[in-house]
Amino acid sequence: MWEPPEFTKRRHIMEANAMSGIPMVVRGKCSTFGPALDGKPDSGMTDKEGLALYEHKEANDRPDLFLSGNESLGVCRRLRPDAHFIAMRFPKGNIRRELQCAVWRVEANGKSVLASLVDWGPAEWTGRALYLSSAIMSELGIKTDDVVSATRV
């Protein structure tokens, strides 16, 4: 099992795909990002903020994740409140399409949901391994700083 030094310090577990270096399993503390279930925007994101893996054109092709809407705002403001999306740290490089196509199983409390990776984060200084949509947090019955795992399926 490969563990980058920054994850080892926080006891996050990551297994790497030998071909691309994309994590296969990420385990650690989580927090929420994106709109709340009631549609209120994430106060930690600006109106012009983008996402690491999606531009507006790509978001238009994913109605399961994004609302149709105002392209003058950042694509993060188009995330669906009821969608299953996550953010995690991943290696830089030409792997955008592979990451967009990957499906992740997020597990906690004996429950699991499938999700799509949409962004890079959370920042290392937070001590968290994953950001999850409000829909995932609600369905799994978890709160900020609970430990979850995400496995690429």
Range of weakest confidence among 87-91, 93-97, 123-127: 93-97
Instruction: Read off the pTM.
Output: 0.83
Mean pLDDT across 102-126: 94
Q: Round to whole Å and give the CA distance between 88 and 95.
A: 14
Q: How confident is the model at residue 98 (pLDDT cuts 50, 70, 90)?
A: confident
Which residues sit opposite 28 in a β-bridge?
148
Of all residues in the chain, the percent with pLDDT exceeding 70 is 84
2.40.30.20, 3.40.1160.10, 2.40.40.10, 2.20.70.10: which CATH number matches 5-41+81-152?
A: 2.40.40.10
pLDDT exceeds cutoff 80 at 137: yes
Q: What is the per-residue pLDDT for 21?
A: 58
What digits encode the pLDDT tens for the residues 6-39?
Answer: 443 333 333 334 345 566 899 999 999 999 998 8
pLDDT exceeds cutoff 90 at 5: no
Q: What is the per-residue pLDDT for 23?
A: 66
107, containing H or E segment: strand 103-108
Q: From residue 38, how far is each of 15, 80, 122, 135, 138 by CA, in Å?
A: 35, 10, 23, 10, 12
Domain boundaries, the chain: 5-41+81-152
